[in-house]
Amino acid sequence: MPSKKARDVSLDQLGAMRALVRIVELGSFSAAARELKVATSTIARKITALEAMLGVPLLHRSTHHVALTEAGTLYHARAVSMIADLDDTLRVVAELDSAPSGPLKLTAPVAFGRRYLAPLVAPFLELYPAVQLDLRLTDNHNDMVMGGFDLDIHEGENYLDNLIVQPISRNDSILCAAPGYFARRGRPCRPADLINHNCLRYLHPEGDRRWHLSDGKAVQSVMPLGNLQSDHSELLLEATRAGLGIAEFEIWLIRDLLVSGELEVALPDYRLENALTGRQIYMAYLPNRRFSTKVRVLREFMAERLKGIGELPERMQTPALGANV
């Protein structure tokens, strides 16, 4: 139960909570006051009243610095979460009877964004013209909180802590080459045959240099050897299309080229195991954005149009590939 002293204090608790969060984030009472467009003395009174209500100091104050006390650290962490939930609730209620509108921030990998998201921007904004879409393409995982992102489309499972995820597609990787390469050099029948082929290798600072090939029953590992390696998948793709050799690609990057016959699968009974790219392509978002109307319509729009992009079309799958799902 609050003390009598705490009950006697008249306080705008939400206003004081917001003030404390801004003081901590901006580093001073004066900076928070400027942002909130009130006098510094007003901010100071709010914090003093909050501390009086709680019966504990929340901030260590000095002439040029403020720091959280132990109690302040606990209160601040809870306050950040509560304010985010409240703001999201207010947004959801405001959106109930209106069309999706306002800023909407999305992030995705560079090649994926250019190939799949760029053609979808105009159709989405034609459906929801009141939305202001901010699309950031990067191959580094963004901090969704710090970056203010509403939705993140990415491959792999190594960044999904504390996020809600919605799978879009399996994320299968295969070896492929141009028909002209196979005409000159023949086709490998099993992973061990790759030693006789020009293998174009993708480099990643955290990646395994070997190719790990699975037929759904066992995994065979080979060291690819060839005359080209690069840390840029689209560069390797151009070399592969030109008939230089066999390379590893995620299906979403080359799906249209496989369908057209410009590229062909090298070992159709095998898929590559890759810890970096993972087994799925996901959409991810913060828990406090789950009820946002504009996030929901973006998720539904993307899910419908991107479904299955990381998988071979059924007519191209062999029984062995189908078993390797």
DSSP code per residue over 228-273: -EES-HHHHHHHHHTT--EEEEEHHHHHHHHHHTSSEESSTT-EE-
CB 106 within 8 A of CB 75: no
Whether 187 has a pLDDT exceeding 90, the answer reads yes
Mean pLDDT, residues 296-308 taken together: 94
Q: What is the predicted pLDDT for the residue at 236?
A: 95
Which amino acid makes up residue 5? K
Same domain, 186 and 273: yes
CB 154 within 8 A of CB 108: yes
Same domain, 181 and 272: yes
Same domain, 255 and 221: yes
Model-wide pTM > 0.85: no
CB 171 within 8 A of CB 250: yes
Q: pLDDT, tens digit, for every residue of 228-238?
A: 999 888 899 99
Number of domains the chain contains: 3
CATH, residue 40: 1.10.10.10
- Helix runs in the chain, H state only: 4-8, 13-26, 29-36, 40-54, 70-95, 110-112, 118-127, 144-147, 179-185, 233-241, 251-260, 293-306, 319-323
Same domain, 182 and 234: yes
Same domain, 15 and 153: no
Mean pLDDT, residues 180-201 taken together: 96
Query: Mean pLDDT, the chain, as a whole number?
Result: 86
Same domain, 238 and 157: no
Whole-number percent of the chain with pLDDT over 70: 89
Q: Which domain holds residue 133?
A: 102-171+278-306
Residue 319 lies in a domain: no
pLDDT band at 318 (very low <50, low <70, confident <90, very high): low
Same domain, 289 and 200: no
Same domain, 41 and 89: yes
Residue 112 lies in a domain: yes
Whether 322 has a pLDDT exceeding 50, the answer reads no
Residue 323 lies in a domain: no
Q: What is the predicted pLDDT for the residue at 6?
A: 41
Q: pLDDT, tens digit, for every residue of 63-107?
A: 678 889 999 899 998 888 888 778 777 766 766 556 788 899 999
Same domain, 166 and 139: yes
Same domain, 167 and 295: yes
Per the DSSP assignment, residues forming a β-bridge with 106 are 135, 151
Structure tokens at 23: 């003081």
Q: What is the predicted pLDDT for the residue at 160?
A: 62
Residue 246 lies in a domain: yes
Q: What is the predicted pLDDT for the residue at 80?
A: 86
Q: pLDDT, tens digit, for every residue of 38-66?
A: 998 898 899 999 988 899 999 988 767 88
Give me the phi and psi of 105, to 5 degrees please.
Answer: -110, 125
Same domain, 165 and 299: yes
